[in-house]
Structure 1
Amino acid sequence: MSLAPGPADPAGTSRNTSATIQPNILRYLVVIADERGVDLRPLLTQMGLDETVMRSAALRVSYRQGSAVIRRALELTRDERLGLKVGAAQHLTAWGLLGFALMADDTLQHAIETGVKYQNLSGAMVVWSAGVGDEDDAFVLRADLPDPAMDPAVASFLSEEAFASVITLSRLAVDPAFAPRAVEFSFPPPRQPDLYGALFRCPVRFGAPANRMVIDASWARTPMPGRDPVSYTSTLEMLDGQMASRRDQQDLLEVLEISVAQSLPVVPSFGEQARRHATSERTLRRRLAGCGTTYEALVEGVRRERVEQLLLRPELTLRDITRRAGFSDERALRRAVRRWHGTSPVQLRERMLRGVRHTE
C-alpha cells in the first residue's frame, strides 16, 4: 500500500509539534464541554485565547496550547470518549475555503486526498496520509500522531476526533448511510467499545499497529453531490497561496524557537532577534502577529517544552530545572507550571513519569 506523506514534511517524517494550527478542534471542544456543564473559557483566557480572539479567522494556536486545553478538558469532563463527540459535532464550513473545495471536488476519495494535501490549513492535530490498499482496491486513510511520546489520553482524543470528523463530514457531504469497512486504533480497548460501533457502523479494532480507516472502493468512488470543476480549480489556487504563506510563517517560527531554545537559560531580547533577522522590531512584530502569536508567547512555549523535558529526568532538582529553563527562582517556575498544567512541578513530574512507565 502506498500512503502519501502529509504536506507538513515532504520526507514523511513526524510533523513539528511547534507548528501553529487553526483552533477548529478547540472551538468545537468548548461547545461539547459546555454541554457537559464544563466551562473551558477561563482556561482559554488564561492562555491568551479569550472569546474575541477565538472568533478570529486569522487565529493560530500552538500544538502545546491545543494539547494543554484538551488534557484539561479530559480531566474536567471525565469523559474518556470526548474525542468521538468533538469529531461528531463538526461541519465542513468550519474549514473555510478548504471545506468549500472538498464539497466541489469530484469523488469522496479525491476530496479526502485534497484534504490530506492541504491538511495544514484545516486545523488538523494529526498527520494524515492516504492511498489505495493492496487488497480489493480499498482506500486507506491513516492518522499518525505528531509526537509518539504524546500524553496517551491526548493521543487517544486526537485519534478519535480525527476519524469521527471524517465519518461525520462524509455523511453530511455524501450520504448519511456512509460507513467504512473497518476502523483501527493504536490505543488499547476502551471500557465502552459499543460507542465506537454505534458511530462508525463497522468493525472497530483496538491495539492495532496504526490508526487507520479502510473505505471500500464503491464508497471511495462516490461522486460528491456539489462537484463543480471550475469552482474546485479556482479554490485550489487560493489554497496554494495560503499554503505558501503558511510555509513562510512556519519557517520564521521555527528559526525563532530554535534560537530561543539554544540560548536558554538566557532569552535573547526581541531587539536582538530583530537584528539577527536584519529587520526592524516593528516588522518582526507584525510578521509574528500574522502567525497569530507574539514573541512572548513563543518564548513561553519553548520554556514550557524545556521544563517538561527536564521534569522527566529524576536526577534533576527543581533548582536545577529553574536555572536551566531560565526562571528567576523556583517560585517563578511553580507559577508557570501551575499556569500551564494546573498543578505543581512535583505533581506534574510524578504524573509524567507514571505515563512513561505505562507506555514502556
Structure 2
Amino acid sequence: MPDDPAPVTSPGTSRSTSATIAPNILRYLARVADEHGVDLQPLLTRVGLDPTVMGSAALRVSYRQGSDVIRQAVKLTGDEHLGLRVGAAQHLTAWGLIGLAMMAADALQDAIETGVRYQNLSGAMTVWSARWEDAGYVLRADLPDPALDPTVAVFLTEEAYSSVVTLTRLSIGAAFAPQTVEFAFPAPRDTRPFDELFRCPLRFDATGNRMVFPTRWARATMPGRDPITHASVRGVLDGEMASRRDQQDLLEVLEISLAQSLPAVPSFSEQARRHASSERTLRRRLAECGTTYEAIVDGVRREQVEQLLRRPELTLRDITRQAGFADVSALRRAIRRWHGVTPLELRTGLLEREAPTGRPHALPERGAEP
C-alpha cells in the first residue's frame, strides 16, 4: 500500500449554479429511455437541447439542466433502476480524450486516478475522489448538493458506480468484481439488479458512497498501456482544465454579483463595466462557457427562490420581491417552468425533504399560494 494516503481529487470540483458539463450521461439516458419506448427529445428540447445541439461534440449543459432531465426521465420510464442501466450502457470511447488517456494508463489505479483528475471535463455529475484505505483502494462518489432531489441523487449514484464497473470490465476483463460497494441511499425494494451487476457484498444506508477495489485488480496492468500516449494526452487535457477553470471563475463571479444585487438585476452592460470588459468580449466568453447572461440570471433567481421557499414564514409576495420578479404571476410561471409544479407544491416538497422527522413543517396560510 502506498505511503501517501492523500486522496486523489480533481483540481477544482466545485459546482456553480451555471456550471457546464459534457452531456455524456444525457446521451446515454436518451438511448436507454428509447429502449423503454420513451422519447426524451421533447423534454430535451424544452430545456434547450434540440437534436442539432445534442449532436455537437462541443456541447456543454448546465448541472441544473441535467438534473431536470434526469428527474423527468425517471418519472416517464417508471424505471427505479434507470441509473444502473444508463451506467451499464457506457463505453470509454464516449469520454473522448479522457477515455483514451485512461486506456493508455499503466494500471487500473492509474486509469481511475486519470478519470478523477479530469472529471470536470468528462461530464461527471458526482464529485469523485480515490485513495488507499485499510479496506483497499477506495473510490468515493459524493453528491455536489446535499439537498439534491432524492430521485436524482439515487440515479446519479447508481449511474456512477454502474459505469465504473462496466468500463472496468470492458478494459481489464469480465471477471472483475469490486470487493464491496456501499450506497448512502436506502435499499430499494428489489436489490437483484444490484447483485447481478456488482457481484459482490452490498451495503445500503451507508454513511457515504464508496467502492472498494481488491488490491490485485487495482494494480492490474491496463491492456492498452502506452506511457507516451498517456503523457501526451494528459498534456492536452491539462490545457483544457486550465481553460475550464477560467470559465468556472467567470461564472462564479457573475453569480455572486447577481446574488448580491437581488432584487435588482444588473443589466448586461452594467456587468461588463463591473468586470472591466466590453459587452462583446463578455458575451463571447459566456458563449465559450456554453451559456448566456440570461441563463445565469435565471439560475441565480431559481436558487434564490428555492432557498426562500424553505422559509415557511415568507409569503409568495415576499419571495416575489426578494427574488426580483415583477409580480406573483411571474414567479408562478418561473416555478412551473423550472419544476413543473406550483409554488405551494414545490415548497411542500422542499420542506418535507428537510424535516427531521420526515413530516412536513406546518405551512402558514399566508405562506400558501395567495
Q: TM-score, normalised by structure 1?
A: 0.95
CA deviation profile, 1:280-334 (whole Å, cap 9, x unmatched)? 1111111001001111111111111111111111111111111111111111111
| Alignment correspondent of 1:249 | 247
Residue 4 (structure 1) aligned with residue 2 (structure 2): no
Show structure 2 runs of 5+ residues with no match. 359-370
**How far apart in 2 are the matches of 1:334 and 1:8?**
39
- Equivalent residues in 2 for 1:304-319 (5 A)? 304-319=302-317
| Alignment correspondent of 1:238 | 236
Q: Is the 2:17–2:299 Cα contact (8 Å) retained in structure 1?
A: no
Residue 133 of structure 2 aligns with an amino acid whose one-letter code is G
CA deviation profile, 1:19-64 (whole Å, cap 9, x unmatched)? 2211111111111112112222222212111111122222222221
**How far apart in 2 are the matches of 1:337 and 1:153?**
19
Decide which of 268, 271, 282 is 1:270's aligned counterpart: 268
Residue 89 (structure 1) aligned with residue 89 (structure 2): yes
Residue 114 (structure 1) aligned with residue 117 (structure 2): no
Shift of the alpha carbon at 1:120? 0.7
Residue 141 of structure 1 aligns with an amino acid whose one-letter code is L
Quote the RMSD (CA, aligned, Å): 1.6
Q: TM-score, normalised by structure 2?
A: 0.92
* Gap change, CA 1:299 and 1:278, over 3 Å in 2: same
* Gap change, CA 1:8 and 1:315, over 3 Å in 2: farther
SS of the equivalent of 2:140 reads strand
- Equivalent residues in 2 for 1:120-131 (5 A)? 120-131=120-131
* Gap change, CA 1:3 and 1:125, over 3 Å in 2: farther
**How far apart in 2 are the matches of 1:111 and 1:197?**
25
Q: Is the 1:3–1:129 Cα contact (8 Å) retained in structure 2?
A: no
**How far apart in 1 are the matches of 2:253 and 2:68?**
23
Show structure 1 runs of 5+ residues with no match. none
**How far apart in 2 are the matches of 1:201 and 1:132?**
22
Decide which of 284, 288, 291 is 1:290's aligned counterpart: 288
| Alignment correspondent of 2:363 | none
**How far apart in 2 are the matches of 1:311 and 1:349?**
5
SS of the equivalent of 2:355 reads helix
SS of the equivalent of 1:209 reads coil
**How far apart in 2 are the matches of 1:228 and 1:133?**
28
> Higher mean Cα deviation, 226-235 or 68-77?
68-77
Residue 158 (structure 1) aligned with residue 161 (structure 2): no
Residue 176 of structure 2 aligns with an amino acid whose one-letter code is F
**How far apart in 2 are the matches of 1:3 and 1:158?**
25
| Alignment correspondent of 2:347 | 349
Decide which of 134, 147, 150 is 1:149's aligned counterpart: 147
Shift of the alpha carbon at 1:126? 0.8
- Equivalent residues in 2 for 1:325-336 (5 A)? 325-336=323-334
SS of the equivalent of 1:285 reads helix
Residue 331 of structure 1 aligns with an amino acid whose one-letter code is S
Shift of the alpha carbon at 1:2? 3.4
**How far apart in 1 are the matches of 2:220 and 2:210?**
20
**How far apart in 1 are the matches of 2:335 and 2:262?**
17
Q: Is the 2:17–2:300 Cα contact (8 Å) retained in structure 1?
A: no
Q: Is the 1:105–1:226 Cα contact (8 Å) retained in structure 2?
A: yes
CA deviation profile, 1:182-205 (whole Å, cap 9, x unmatched)? 100011111111110100011111
Residue 171 (structure 1) aligned with residue 174 (structure 2): no
| Alignment correspondent of 2:217 | 219
Report how many residues are paired.
Answer: 355
**How far apart in 1 are the matches of 2:36 and 2:126?**
25
Runs of 4+ aligned structure 1 residues displaced above 3 Å come to: 14-18
CA deviation profile, 1:250-298 (whole Å, cap 9, x unmatched)? 0000001111111111111111111112111111111001001111111
Q: Is the 1:285–1:294 Cα contact (8 Å) retained in structure 2?
A: yes
| Alignment correspondent of 1:36 | 36
Shift of the alpha carbon at 1:342? 1.2
**How far apart in 2 are the matches of 1:55 and 1:268?**
34
Q: Is the 1:322–1:330 Cα contact (8 Å) retained in structure 2?
A: yes
SS of the equivalent of 1:271 reads helix
| Alignment correspondent of 2:24 | 24
* Gap change, CA 1:6 and 1:17, over 3 Å in 2: farther
**How far apart in 2 are the matches of 1:359 and 1:150?**
18
* Gap change, CA 1:184 and 1:114, over 3 Å in 2: same
**How far apart in 2 are the matches of 1:194 and 1:245?**
43
* Gap change, CA 1:209 and 1:3, over 3 Å in 2: farther
| Alignment correspondent of 1:104 | 104
**How far apart in 2 are the matches of 1:358 and 1:79?**
28
* Gap change, CA 1:94 and 1:35, over 3 Å in 2: same
